[in-house]
A = this chain, B = another copy of it.
Amino acid sequence: MTDHRKTAGRTQLPLLAVTLGDPVGIGPEITARTLADPANAAFGRGLAVGDAAVLRRAVEVCGLDVRVRAVGAPGEARWEPGTIDVLDLGIAPADLPWGRVDAVAGRSAVAAIEAATRAALAGEVDGIVTSPINKEAIWAAGSQHLGHTEMLGELTGAAHVDTMFVVRGLKIFFTTRHLALRKALDHITEERVAGSIRHAVTALRVFGHDEPRLAVAAINPHGGEGGHFGDEEIAVLRPAVAKAAAEGLGVVGPVPADSVFHQGLEGRFDGVLSHFHDQGHIPAKTVDFDGTVSVTVGLPILRTSVDHGTAFDIAGSGRASHGTMSAAFRAAAGFSRCADRIRAAYGTAAGR
């Protein structure tokens, strides 16, 4: 139970901090559209986090009929109809050029993540939803981080952070992600896969599956067909699955990768462990491009995000689709019921 709920004294819709991301990317626009969309208001209450001036400009370029109301603390938000409350940082002005790397924009993006994370750690919001940032901009602003995940890990003192995709209820995990495919194959060892299985099963439990059923994807065609088409299944995956199953974890596999996602979407599994970026990305984004949500697992706070970038090429045009952002917002609202489990599983002294 978070503080604002205690204060309210009755069950309310979850409260989510939504960062604007890079002020000159599409983040402010998709945040404005998401928080102005009445269909999303049925799922949760959103508090924008960033610069009020930047959000006002986004509302304007999107042609939205909503008012932006700056607040100094989450507790001041009122969620009045036709209004978007924004925790105002007062860093970036409204006249930064769209779609250009900018140190002030980077500073604003970093500050929004920090403010949203603080609010979540303090229990002032039930979770955070993040808009895309630009690496070069945050570096220009003095940040050393590679992106959101590293930053959030440090801010919360998390020991180990993973990405989990959620698409149509199926949860997809990754043994490796941002590696060249050849390097990924070298990286996939029995020990790493066994570790990924443990992390995935824990995540499934934390995110609502009391008796998790995880399937491990194969790597080679037809699951290697008994070693005819590669031996990773025999040498790496089967021993890792056997080890995890012997520990009592609900895991099966390797299952041929061209069937396992179909079976998962049919409800046969709660989660699928894929082994490289596109192996998990392809099924999710092909089945539901806009509905694929990224959840950061391992933080003591709930965080969802879009998986796309700042789209500098169309920023400021009002053309950016807020489909994925809406999905990320709704997913966070749904997972807010897991907030206590998330804190219990991933909370650390260092992070609080």
Q: How large is the interface on A (under 10, 10 to 19, 20 to 34, 35 or more residues)?
A: 35 or more
Chain A interface mostly helix, strand, loop or mixed?
Answer: helix
Segment with Cβ contacts to B, from A45-53, A109-117, A149-157, A181-189:
A181-189
A289 to B278, CA, bound (A): 19
A34 to B285, CA, bound (A): 32
Render A231-269 as a binary contact track against B, CB cut-off 8 A, 1 for contact.
Answer: 110000000000000000000000011110110010000
- A286 interface contact, C-beta 8 A: yes
- A195 interface contact, C-beta 8 A: no
- A177 interface contact, C-beta 8 A: yes
Render A269-294 as a binary contact track against B, CB cut-off 8 A, 1 for contact.
Answer: 00000001111011111110100000
Q: A181-B185, A229-B179, A277-B221 are in contact. Are A282 and B283 (CB under 8 A)?
A: yes
Q: Is the CB of A230 within 8 A of B283?
A: no
Task: Give the chain B neighbours of A286 by CB distance below 8 A.
Answer: 258, 261-262, 265, 282-283, 286-287
CB-based nearest B residue for A170? B286
| Choice from B219, B256, B258, B277 contacting A181 with Cβ under 8 Å | B219
Shortest Cβ distance from residue A323 to the other chain B in the assembled complex, whole angstroms: 12
Shortest Cβ distance from residue A314 to the other chain B in the assembled complex, whole angstroms: 15
* Contact residues of A between 285 and 335, Cβ < 8 Å to B: 285-287, 289
Task: Give the chain B neighbours of A183 by CB distance below 8 A.
Answer: 230
- A180 interface contact, C-beta 8 A: yes
| Choice from B229, B262, B289 contacting A180 with Cβ under 8 Å | B229
- A224 interface contact, C-beta 8 A: yes
- A160 interface contact, C-beta 8 A: no
A281 to B180, CA, bound (A): 20
- A220 interface contact, C-beta 8 A: yes
- A6 interface contact, C-beta 8 A: no
Task: Give the chain B neighbours of A229 by CB distance below 8 A.
Answer: 178-180
Q: Is the CB of B278 within 8 A of A261?
A: no
Task: Give the chain B neighbours of A220 by CB distance below 8 A.
Answer: 180-181, 277
Q: Is the CB of A177 within 8 A of B221?
A: yes
A286 to B266, CA, bound (A): 10
Sorted nearest first, the 9 A-B pairs with minimum C-beta distance are A180-B230, A258-B281, A221-B277, A283-B286, A261-B286, A262-B289, A257-B278, A180-B229, A258-B285
Can you add 7 more A-B contacts, CB < 8 Å, to A179-B229, A181-B221, A258-B285?
A: A177-B221, A178-B229, A179-B221, A182-B230, A258-B278, A265-B286, A282-B283
